[in-house]
Structure 1
Amino acid sequence: MSEALQSALAEALADLVTMIDTCDDDEALDQDMAVTWLESTGYILGRLSEADRRTLDRLFREAALRQEPGPYRDALLTTSEGFGLTLDVHAAQCDAVEDLGRRFVKTVQDADPATPVPTCPGWTLAHLTRHVGSVHRWAGHLVGTRSTTRVRAADLPLDLPEDPAAYPGWLAASAHSCLGTLRNADPDTGLWSPGGDPHVRYYPRHLLAELLVHLADAELALGGGPGPIEPSHAADGIDHFLSNAAHLPWVAEPIAQLGRDGAVLRLEAGDTGAVWNVTLGGGGFAWRRTAEGDATATVRGDVADLLLFVHGRYETENPRLAVTGDRGLLDAWRGATAL
């Protein structure tokens, strides 16, 4: 099912539910029957997976925010809550970070730390593990101190073991400490972040995106393919990458110099139907989830493969991807966004 169809169905359901909830004409609507309808619908939606519940919650909210401000939009915004779909996103992301962190440690703990990581040129598994642990310590420090000014990870003590073979255990301890700090923090608390969301909630989302990509780095380095990636996490990882890129000078400045105003890069997820349009121009770029308009170049693949593509882990020639249109635009974009 395409994302456009999902959005249309979610909007239609939200409208119907809101009209029923706000109808005060007993003659026009049998209230007992209305309650029965809504309870039956709630039961069906309650059987959805956690990932699907998050998706439907997002679609309901997006449908509401397309309306003009006022009582009707306010009522639409309660649709998810009425069906029990609202989740503690902060807690769920922390849980996902914990799960992926364990997978990372398990992947590297018995491997040779000197194993090269082809997707991170010049790095070994020891470098990769040190980086992942450093990011956990950095996030834990910023959230723990509620820092409102920039702090570089390189300026923090790492307490790194002398033997690289002990790095996986050090990472596990770093992740445990970081997650304890994140879980005890209010996600809406303001503090410095390198992206456009200066709040605590930025950090579990950032750690999740980091782990998704770096776990794939480790798996590829050890001769296998990337393990399974939850589609909703992969999609949010793409959103996170595009949201952050404009705030990172080493990415934003090369993009501003591309000189391809009006060119559109489209990412199409064949497994979920999600579509991203990235439009260059105005000294930068804009992006949104939509399939509207023409694309200059299109990359199609499963959403997990698109995540690895936008992070430079897959080349345009990768057989997991289908590329059409202006490859010069794709090469220019990849060069500008290389991390």
Structure 2
Amino acid sequence: MSEALQRALAEALAELVTTIDTCDDEVLDPDTAVKWLESTGYVLGNLSAADRRTLDRLFRETALRQEPGSWRDALLTTSEGFGLTEDVHTAQCEAVEDLGRRFAETVRDADFATPVPTCPGWTLADLTRHVGTVHRWAGHVVRTRSDGRVRAADLPLELPEDPAAYPDWLAASAASCLTALRNADPDDGLWSPGGDPHVRYYPRHLLAELVVHLADAELALGRAASPIDPGHAADGIDHFLTNAAYVPHVAEPVARLGRDGAVLRLEAADTGAVWCVTLGGGGFAWQRAGEGSGFGWLPAPDPAPTATVRGDVADLLLFVHGRYETQNPRLAVTGDHGFLDEWRAATAL
């Protein structure tokens, strides 16, 4: 695509979006405006980091070609409205660093023989070893830019003999991994076990792992799970649904359910986000709808749900990952409980 065509398309989109965003309610129905903007935001949200930077530049250039005034000021907010100015990679790395530190401090001085009820058969030693191993594995893949499958079991983990030394080992593993991630271009191609073969897959994956496994550790120690950032929880659900099709021990049981047309609806009571998962064709498709503010998601789908699970977005994350049962008082469940039980069994990690 030529630079001239890029500029023309960016200018047309910026002006259209700004017209919609500043239109009087009497001229354009606000719900329709939000639906249009959310649909556009969803598409732009799937751009690579490099393309997001390019589009941000083109939007700004469009605005700055205008005379100073309210119209130019409105155009200058286009990138921010679509989240194009956010450095997602850096923010995810910072969140991984914070959660990794919190996990290590949570298990430090704990009895590593403590069972982890949310991971049947595991102790705190097993859980800590798993979290550190995932960091070692991710750091190796990113550092080497591997273009083929990498098994954690094939890597030198340098695991201490004494589980009491696991927190320090985990901290060192996390530091090495984060150095590799921060030194990498998120758009660099490499192997991943999911649907996004780029560096950017790995901080997102680590973040999803840490959010859930920190809750596992806290619950194992008899504490309430710490509050989970709603944005991290929502992205964790997205990550799970996006990559489930690439995990054979999830994709294959789902394909055998024989529930074509069944719809699972997840409703976040605190943020207004809605996920609709529709089974069929040997797998499933999903959509995420309105977040309550900003742009970024598809219009809410309309299929009648087979079962609905409603709760705060953090609770939905823990439900999707099998940490909460359908009977958990933090969740409101309606519809076919048998279907929910089948889904939970098929998607158990």
Separation in structure 2 between the aligned mates of residue 102 and residue 229 of structure 1, nearest angstrom: 15
Deviations 1:148-206 (A, max 9, x none): 00010111111011110110110000000100000000000000000000000000000
Distance 1:75 1:211 in 2: 31
1:60 and 1:77 in contact (8 A); partners too: no
2:246 alignment partner in structure 1: 247
The alignment's TM-score, normalised by the length of structure 2, stands at 0.77
Question: What CA distance in whole angstroms lies between the structure 2 residues aligned with 1:253 and 1:106?
Answer: 37
- Asked which structure has the greater RCO (Cα within 8 Å, sep 6+), the reply is 2
User: Which among 320, 323, 330 is matched to residue 340 of structure 2?
Assistant: 330
Structure 1 residue 228: Cα displacement:
1.1
Whether the aligned pair in 2 keeps the contact of 1:18 and 1:76 (CA below 8 Å) is no
In 2 relative to 1, CA 99–58 (structure 1 residues): closer, same or farther, beyond 3 Å?
Answer: farther
Give me the identity figure in percent: 78
2:32 aligned partner: none
Change (3 A) 1:194 1:63: closer
Q: Which amino acid aligns with 1:150?
A: R
The Cα shift of 1:110 comes to 1.5
Residue of structure 2 equivalent to 1:156: 155
SS of equivalent residue, structure 1 residue 272: coil
Q: Give the 5 Å matches for 1:36-47.
A: none
Note the alpha carbon deviations across 1:101-152, whole angstroms, 9 max, x for none. 0110110002111111000111110000000000000000000000000010
* 1:267 paired residue number: 266
Cα shift at 1:326: 0.4
Q: Which runs of 5+ in 2 are unaligned?
A: 1-12, 23-36, 47-54, 60-77, 290-299
Q: Deviations over 1:212-241 (max 9, x none)?
A: 000000000000111011000100000000
| Structure 1 residue aligned with 2:318 | 308
Match of 1:283 in 2: 282
Partner of residue 301 from structure 2, selected from 275, 292, 307? 292
1:210 equivalent to 2:212? Answer no
Structure 1 residue ranges without an equivalent (≥5): 1-12, 22-33, 35-56, 67-73
Q: How far did residue 61 of structure 1 move?
A: 2.4
**308, 319, 328: which one pairs with 1:318?**
328
Deviations 1:235-254 (A, max 9, x none): 00000000000111110000
Which residue identity is paired with 2:344?
R
How much has 1:86 moved relative to structure 2? Answer: 1.3
Report the more deviating stretch, 82-91 or 189-198. Answer: 82-91
Per-residue deviation, 1:19: 3.8
Distance 1:15 1:327 in 2: 48
Give the Å deviation of 1:292. 2.5
Shift of 1:75: 9.3
Distance 1:84 1:216, change over 3 A: closer
Aligned partners of 2:261 and 2:279 also within 8 Å: yes
**Matches of 2:114 and 2:38 in 1, distance apart?**
41
Distance, in Å, in 1 between the alignment partners of 2:260 and 2:58 is 36
Corresponding residue of 1:18: 18
Could you list the structure 1 runs, at least 4 aligned residues long, displaced by more than 3 angstroms after superposition.
13-21, 57-60, 63-66, 74-78, 81-85
Q: Counterparts of 1:14 and 1:313 in 2: how far apart (Å)?
A: 43
